[in-house]
């Protein structure tokens, strides 16, 4: 099995992929768009992309690409992310003036960066920052990445667990061209929808789930990418159950009648639920 992820060898996305599929061949690609394209074009079997983090929130680009493509979400993965400050061997913490990492990595370590008055420079990947530092070391420069990246690129861990929130988890979606066969156990479903701009429309849309006794585990909004309707919201929701189950299917039918747009992203075995974390 070939799995595409965004980043370089040693990235958190690769770590999550191998945790779930230990025998897979992982293929690192520079952008999320290339990951989606690789899956769509049959270049790989699956894609693994981050969708949200407990510290920094959702990954907007992932949701944008889910809207733009016909790929299915067939699984979710959860990885505890412990960020490390990496530098060439012999570097001292007081010598470091600048740090590079993915924007999410920088955001998740904002307190540490501020405490040590470091200049932060975003790059496309945490592991990529580590590899670049190993290949082109500069005085005063460090990277924020994983312990795995430090081992892979021969860097020294100057500080470990530097994220602002100790319970720093990233949730990933597994992408496929086709749905996976259903298996035993609890499921979740992810859906995207918009409502008409009238009082009570969002309440009516959500009431469809309450009427069927369905628990929502996620509800988030952001502005649509629509030049004709700036700041018009689009809603992302996760709920417990499979879209083909009687209750969820009835709720989705009601949502289709009440909403102006609905897209089911996929139903998949549940790893996370409301206030509960189960690592696979």
Interval 58-108: pLDDT, tens: 999 999 999 999 999 999 999 999 999 999 999 999 999 999 999 999 999
Confidence category of residue 273, pLDDT binned at 50, 70, 90:
low
pLDDT at 3 over 90: yes
Q: How many Å apart are CA 271 and CA 259, to the nearest integer?
A: 28
Residue 181 belongs to some domain of the structure = no
pLDDT at position 109 is: 97
Q: What is the 3-state secondary structure (H, E, C) of the chain?
A: CEEEEECCCCCHHHHHHHHHCCCCEEEEECCHHHHHHHHHCCCCCEEEEEEEECCCEECHHHHHHHHHCCCEEEEEEEEECCCEEEECCCCCHHHCCEEEECHHHHHHCHHHHHHCCCEEEECCCHHHHHHHHHHCCCCCEEEEECHHHHHHHCCEEEEECCCCCCCCEEEEEEEECCCCCCCCCCEEEEEEEEECCCCCHHHHHHHHHHHCCCCEEEEEEEECCCCCCCCCEEEEEEEECCCCCHHHHHHHHHHHHHEEEEEEEEEEECCEECCEECCC
246: exposed, middle or buried (C-beta count within 10 Å: 0-12, 13-18, 19+)? exposed
pLDDT above 90 as % of the chain: 87
Per-residue pLDDT at 56: 85
The 233-240 sheet, strands edge to edge: 216-223, 233-240, 187-195, 259-269
From 126, 170, 217, 272, active-site residue:
170
Same domain, 53 and 172: yes
Q: For residue range 256-268, what is the model confidence (pLDDT) as tens digits?
A: 999 999 999 999 9
151 and 53 inside one domain: no
The pLDDT of residue 162 is above 80: yes
89's CB contacts (< 8 A; 6+ apart) are 154, 155, 156
- Do 266 and 196 share a structural domain? yes
What's the mean pLDDT when you consider all of the chain?
Answer: 93
Rounded Cα–Cα distance for residues 237 and 41 (Å): 28
**Which range of residues forms the domain containing residue 123?**
84-160
CB 28 within 8 A of CB 5: yes
User: 137 lies in a domain?
Assistant: yes
In a domain, 41, yes or no: yes
Residue 49: CATH number of its domain: 3.40.190.10
Identify the pLDDT of residue 278. 47
55 and 98 housed in the same domain: no
CATH number of the domain encompassing residue 201:
3.30.70.260
Measured from the Cβ of residue 137, the count of other Cβ atoms closer than 10 Å reads: 13
pLDDT in tens, 201-248: 999 999 999 999 999 999 999 888 777 777 889 999 999 999 999 999
pLDDT of residue 156: 98
Residue whose structure tokens are 């307190």:
111
- For residues 264 and 131, membership in a common domain is answered with no
Distance between CA 131 and CA 150 in Å, rounded? 9
Selected catalytic residue, list 32, 112, 172, 193: 172
Whether residue 182 lies inside any domain: the answer is no
pLDDT value at 31 more than 80: yes
- Shared-domain flag, residues 139 and 211: no
pTM: 0.89
Whether 70 and 9 share a structural domain: yes
Mean per-residue pLDDT, 141-154: 97
Is pLDDT at 276 greater than 90 in this prediction? no
pLDDT at 272 exceeding the cut of 80: no
- Within this chain, do residues 193 and 269 fall inside the same structural domain, yes or no? yes
Residues 172 and 59 in one domain: yes
Whole-angstrom distance, CA of residue 97 vs CA of residue 245: 55
Residue 230 CB: number of other CB atoms within 10 A? 9
What is the rounded distance in angstroms from the CA atom of residue 47 to the CA atom of residue 45?
A: 7
pLDDT for the residue numbered 274: 45
* Percent of residues, the chain, with pLDDT higher than 70: 97
Burial grade of 204 (CB within 10 A; 0-12, 13-18, 19 or more): middle
Annotation marks residue 172 as catalytic: yes
In terms of domains, do 76 and 92 share one?
no
Per the domain annotation, does 31 fall within a domain?
yes
Find the range with the poorest average confidence among 117-126, 182-191, 192-201, 227-236: 227-236
Q: How far is CA 75 from CA 45, 169, 204, 241, in A?
A: 13, 16, 29, 13
């Amino acid at each position: 099995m070939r799995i595409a992820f965004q980043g370089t060898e040693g990235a958190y996305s690769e770590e999550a992929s191998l945790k779930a599929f230990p025998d897979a061949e992982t293929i690192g690609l520079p952008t999320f768009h290339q990951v989606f394209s690789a899956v769509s074009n049959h270049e790989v079997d699956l894609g693994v992309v981050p969708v949200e983090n407990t510290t920094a929130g959702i990954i907007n680009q992932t949701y944008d690409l889910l809207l733009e493509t016909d790929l299915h979400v067939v699984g979710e993965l959860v990885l505890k992310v412990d960020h490390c400050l990496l530098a060439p061997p012999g570097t001292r913490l007081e010598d470091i003036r600048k740090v590079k990492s993915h924007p999410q990595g920088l955001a998740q370590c904002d307190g540490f960066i501020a405490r040590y008055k470091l200049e932060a420079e975003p790059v496309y990947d945490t592991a990529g920052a580590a590899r670049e530092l190993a290949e082109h070391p500069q005085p005063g420069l460090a990277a924020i990445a994983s312990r795995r990246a430090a081992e892979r690129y021969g860097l020294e861990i100057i500080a470990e667990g530097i994220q602002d929130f100790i319970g720093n988890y990233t949730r990933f979606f597994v992408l496929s061209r086709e749905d996976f066969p259903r298996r035993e156990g609890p499921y979740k479903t992810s859906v995207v929808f918009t409502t008409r701009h009238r009082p009570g429309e969002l309440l009516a849309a959500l009431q469809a789930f309450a009427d069927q006794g369905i628990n929502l585990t996620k509800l988030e909004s952001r502005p649509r990418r629509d030049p004709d309707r700036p700041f018009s919201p689009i809603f992302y929701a996760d709920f417990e159950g499979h879209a083909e189950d009687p209750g969820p299917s009835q709720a989705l039918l009601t949502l289709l009648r009440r909403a102006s747009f609905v897209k089911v992203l996929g139903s998949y075995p549940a790893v996370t639920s409301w206030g509960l974390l189960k690592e696979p």
